[in-house]
Amino acid sequence: MRRSSIMALVLFLTLGMSTPVLAVEGGGSTIHYFGAAIGLGMVVIGAGLGIGRFTASAAESIARQPEAAAQITAAVNLPLFLLEGVAILGEVFCLLIVLMK
């Protein structure tokens, strides 16, 4: 219940703040800026949640079996690097949307 109310508040604030962005003089469209901002926010939030979940699971696994810390760390590093790479690519694509328009 609490999570859905927070998401509703974030959505309301986002749409409420989009009015000045969409109200442009001269008839130009700036909707791509709004889309890029939403996309960039989703990429950063998703990457943060994913990295946090990976790290929490690795820390819990190392706490349960300290002797396997090297193997756990090695197994977690590759997915973390791939997730970070996907987040950086998402940020670059959002930046390209803004700059190419």
Q: Is residue 74 part of a domain?
A: yes
**Distance from C-alpha of 57 to C-alpha of 61, rounded to nearest angstrom:** 6
- At residue 61, the pLDDT reads 93
Grade residue 83 by pLDDT with cuts at 50, 70 and 90: confident
Q: Is residue 80 part of a domain?
A: yes
CATH of the domain at 41: 1.20.20.10
Q: Is residue 64 part of a domain?
A: yes
Q: Is residue 79 part of a domain?
A: yes
The CA–CA distances, whole Å, from 76 to 41, 58, 87, 90 equal 25, 7, 17, 22
Per-residue pLDDT reduced to its tens digit, 33-71:
777 888 888 888 888 888 899 899 999 999 999 999 999
Among 8-17, 33-42, 81-90, the range with the most confident prediction by mean pLDDT is 81-90
Kindly report the CA angle at 34 between 95 and 11, in degrees rounded to 5?
125
Q: Is residue 3 part of a domain?
A: no
Is the per-residue pLDDT at 15 higher than 80? Answer: no
Q: Which domain holds residue 92?
A: 33-101
Q: Is residue 12 part of a domain?
A: no
